[in-house]
Amino acid sequence: MNFGDLFLKSIDEGLSVFGEDCKENFYQVLERNFMLKKQEIPFMIEEFSVALKKTFGFNAYYLEILIMRYLFTKLEKKVVYMDDIDSFNFVNYIISVKKLNEFKLLEPLVQ
């Protein structure tokens, strides 16, 4: 399973805490209001984060943490964010995981 698939699966799991209807409605809002299709999310991480915040408000931070945790559990090697802690956020963490995956430094647990 590649990074994009793992990331989308993690997003699905995170959004599912609100229920399946809410998850599906969010994907519709994402496409209609933010011109972002589900399959494009792994390539437009910042835009996805903005859409989460605009749609869910403060709850977006909770969702981002859930998504990061779900992604973290899917990786064989755990990714610890080592840059300046002040720059730690959802977008930077996901981009770091994506880059490590591209360089084949990470292997997913899920096959």
CATH number at residue 98: 1.10.1200
Residue 109 lies in a domain: no
User: What's the mean pLDDT in 1-5?
Assistant: 85
Domain around 88: 3-102
Structure confidence at residue 1 (pLDDT): 73
Structure confidence at residue 101 (pLDDT): 72
Residue 92 lies in a domain: yes
Would you report the helix, strand and coil content of the chain in percent, each value rounded to 5?
A: 70, 0, 25
Residue 50 lies in a domain: yes
Say yes or no to pLDDT of 110 above 50.
no
Count up the domains in the chain and report the number: 1
User: What's the mean pLDDT in 71-78?
Assistant: 75
Amino acid, res. 32? R
Cβ-proximal residues to 4 (8 Å cutoff; 6+ apart), any chain: 39, 42, 43
Kindly state the tokens that stand for 11: 């997003």
Confidence of residue 102 (pLDDT cuts 50, 70, 90): confident
Residue 94 lies in a domain: yes
